[in-house]
Amino acid sequence: MADSLFDWLALLLAKGMGLKGKLKLLQLAPPSVLRRWAIAGDLTGVSTRIQQQLATPDKRAIQQCLDWCESAADRHLVTLTDERYPFALKQITDPPLVLFVEGLLNAINGPGLAVVGSRRASVTTKELTAEWSRQLAAEGWVIVSGLAEGVDACAHRGALEAGLTVAVTGCGLAQCYPKRHYELSQQIRTKGALVSPFPPWEKPKRAYFPQRNRIVSGLSYGTVVMEAGLKSGSLITARLASEQGREVFAVPGSVAHPEAAGCHFLIQQGAKLVTEPVHISEELLPMGQPQAIEAAAVETELPLPKLLDSVGYEATAVDVVVARSDLPVEEVLEQLLMLELEGRVAQVPGGYVRLRGG
């Protein structure tokens, strides 16, 4: 039995199990098989409640998702095994099961560059964000952000002047948050894409925004923090980007400006200081040809991210890396050498450590 959208949505909508638990289930079998096992009561290690939800899912909720998708030609449901699923996002340890997409489907495959920052950004930073995003979009980068006030909105608007942009939302796509960005969201829909991991009817919730940030950084080969306070959600995005093995860039500001303190903190932690957009392009791709990123990533991303995730920011013994990565020791040693040459790990007494930004 082929995996259908119905099977995927049944798994997505099952309550009482988080994303990591569902991803572990998918390591056992695809959604259609999981449902068949659940119907037969053979899904061992899974609560009766979850099995019941998979065996007899909420057909009304599933139909609402399907109806949303079918109500417009530019609406799409993209599952984790769909060939249209973004390559960069699929490489993170916890990719969303299903993406709800509205707009140009090719936009979500990048090459993405996240531009994030404070909702209360200064006028100067807002102008700088729009200009940098315009320049980077003109080079071919797809500017990814979160549709929030301040830096996010300026990043989207700047990108729209010259290229593509992707907005990842902290709610379902039948909602718009903040509501004042409805017109902007429709502009993005025509020159980019709106993306959400949540069913269309889901209203914004505080708990959803870290999930949104994880997708913003996951869709991108680098994250640029334009301006941020020490408690800004942008620092969460930057941390997630670093954990995902992506580059983090930070724009310095005045030491007297509290909304620049987050960027200065990131720079102290190893983020790359940038003062103009060319620094970003040069760092991510020396020839400034973002269209080549996907081909390059296919060669280097697998299985290095799995190995990189096995190296901690504290000294990690080689045998621990071998156990975590589940790779042969010869391959681990070879890849550790490659990562060391790339400046992503360093050899220390007791093993290896992962470098900040690596």
Instruction: Single out the residue of 343, 216, 271, 265 nearest to residue 279, CA to CA.
Output: 271
> pLDDT at position 2, please?
47
Identify the pLDDT of residue 304. Answer: 56
- Chunked into runs of 10 residues, the chain (358 residues) has average pLDDT values of 79 91 90 90 83 91 95 96 93 95 94 95 95 95 96 97 97 96 97 97 93 96 94 91 93 88 94 93 64 38 61 82 82 80 76 70
CB 13 within 8 A of CB 31: no
Task: For the chain, list the strands marked E by DSSP.
Answer: 75-79, 98-103, 112-116, 142-145, 165-168, 192-196, 220-225, 247-250, 272-273, 345-348, 351-354
Query: What is the pTM for the complete model shown?
Result: 0.78
CB 328 within 8 A of CB 335: no
